[in-house]
Amino acid sequence: MKESLKKFYEKKYKILMIIPFILFGLAIVSIAFTMINYGDVVQKDVSLSGGISYDIRVDNWNSKTSTDVVNELMIRYSEKTYSVTDLKNFGERIGFSLMVDLDSLQEEEFEEILNEVLTSNFNEGYSIASKSNMSGTIADDFFKTTFKFLIYAFLFMGAVVFLYFRKFAPSVSIILSSIFDIIITIGFFNLFQMKLSMAGVAAILMLVGYSVDTNILLTTKLIKEKPKNIQDGIYDAMKTGLKMTSTTIGVLIAVFFVSQAPAIKQIVTILLIGLIVDLMSTWFMNAGILKIYLSKKGVKK
């Protein structure tokens, strides 16, 4: 079985290279569809679109959670989107922060429903400690600034990679693979009709680092170490790279099922999608590009 997979991988590597490009094209379509319908590359939750935040302290949880509150609010006030974060003190839950995309005209009506829901879940064992408004303009500026710095990160990363390898094609291949990882991940994120939060933005930034790791490993193995046989060099890098990725994926799956925090689940979901995409962009596309490049340079297959 292992030998059959190796033979298939070695003979069909040019066909396998096409898969990331197909996924990239589909991701672009998904992003374009989202832009047409929602006016941005992704759907944004209340933490990125602005709204009102309530700091709610709970003395008696009554076996309830902040998720129970949000679920009930979504039934009774379904036209709004919600973001919730548990508040802890030395590991003990003391309450939660609830954010909802409200304007001032809806504020009084919503707070009446909120108090009814909180009372039904916690009786009198709660209090609304504070309330604050987040401007949609500020949230939008944060979103745009983050993606602006993401572009700067790619530019500086490209410069560093080029200075290290001193070869144009391998350097471009690394950057291209990283761009594919981000775009395809966002495309799948949109396909699942998920709404991006501030935590999700952090996950996308983390994904830049993850996507570069395996590509640097592969390129270093083939360009810097100069193996006598290209395919053996790829397999050598693959042993380490697959161990790194599979270990990370295993941890992320465990966190996904253990954690109940929506923010953590979104971070894990984005990283899982990104790492699976990275397997294809690294070992199908980047490995194929390097194989063709080195073959033309006269290195043995």
User: How many Å apart are CA 252 and CA 258, to the nearest integer?
Assistant: 10
Burial 23-61 (b: 16+ CB within 10 A, else e): bbeebeebbeebeeeeebbbbbbbbbbbbbbbebebeee
Please compute the mean of the pLDDT values over residues 218-236 and round it to a whole number: 86
Residue 102 belongs to a domain: yes
**For the residues of 190-203, what is the DSSP string, one character each?**
HHTT-EE-HHHHHH
286 by Cβ neighbours in 10 Å (0-12 / 13-18 / 19+) ranks as: buried
Structural domain count of the chain: 2
Query: CA 273 → CA 41, 220, 253, distances in Å?
Result: 17, 25, 11
- The pairing of strands 43-44 and 126-134 is unpaired
DSSP letters for 25-40: HHHHHHHHHHHHHHSS
Residues 94 and 213 grouped into a single domain: no
In this prediction, residues 206-215 reach a mean pLDDT of 84
Strand pairing report for 51-58 and 126-134: antiparallel
Whole-angstrom distance, CA of residue 172 vs CA of residue 174: 5
Q: Are residues 292 and 278 in the same domain?
A: yes
**Residues 109 and 248 placed together within one structural domain of the fold:** no
- Domain's final residue, options 88, 106, 134: 134
Give CA 44 to chain center in angstroms. Answer: 13
The residue segments making up the domain with residue 92 are: 51-134
Asked if residue 152 and residue 103 are part of one domain, the reply reads no
Q: Based on the domain organization, do 56 and 166 belong to the same domain?
A: no
Domain CATH number, residue 208: 1.20.1640.10
Q: What is the mean pLDDT of residues 106-116?
A: 87
pLDDT in tens, 62-97: 888 888 999 999 888 877 778 888 888 877 889 998
Copy the structure tokens of residue 208: 């830049």
Integer Cα distance of 182 and 32 in angstroms? 15
182 in a domain, yes or no?
yes
Query: Do 211 and 77 fall within a single domain?
Result: no
* Average pLDDT over the chain, rounded to an integer: 85
The reply to whether 96 and 220 lie within a common domain is no
For the residues 212-224, what does the mean pLDDT come to? Answer: 86
**205 and 265 part of one domain:** yes
Same domain for 124 and 232, yes or no, is no
Choose one of 134, 169, 188: the last residue of a domain: 134
Q: Is residue 301 part of a domain?
A: no
29 and 122 fall within a common domain: no
| pLDDT at residue 193 tops 50 | yes
> 285 in a domain, yes or no?
yes
Which range among 26-30, 131-135, 137-141, 261-265 has the greatest average pLDDT? 26-30
**Are 22 and 154 found together in one domain?**
yes
Summarize the confidence of residues 274-284 as an average pLDDT.
93
Q: Within this chain, do residues 263 and 286 fall inside the same structural domain, yes or no?
A: yes
Residue 301's pLDDT band (cuts 50, 70, 90) = very low
Q: What is the pLDDT of residue 22?
A: 95
Residues 6+ apart with CB under 8 A from 232: none
Residue 135: predicted pLDDT: 64
The Cβ of residue 243 has, within 10 Å, a number of other Cβ atoms equal to 10
Q: What CATH number is associated with residue 103?
A: 3.30.70.260
Taking each continuous run of H as one helix and of E as one strand, the counts in the chain are 11, 6
Single residue among 104, 119, 134 that ends a domain in this structure: 134
- Evaluate if residue 299 carries a pLDDT over 60: no
What confidence tier does 49 reach under pLDDT thresholds 50, 70, 90? confident
Q: What is the mean pLDDT of residues 120-132?
A: 89
Going by pLDDT thresholds of 50, 70 and 90, the confidence category of residue 50 is confident
Q: Whole-angstrom Cα distance, residue 31 to residue 293?
A: 32
What is the pLDDT, as a whole number, of residue 105? 66
* Mean pLDDT (whole number) for 161-178: 84
Please report the pLDDT score of residue 137 as a whole number: 60
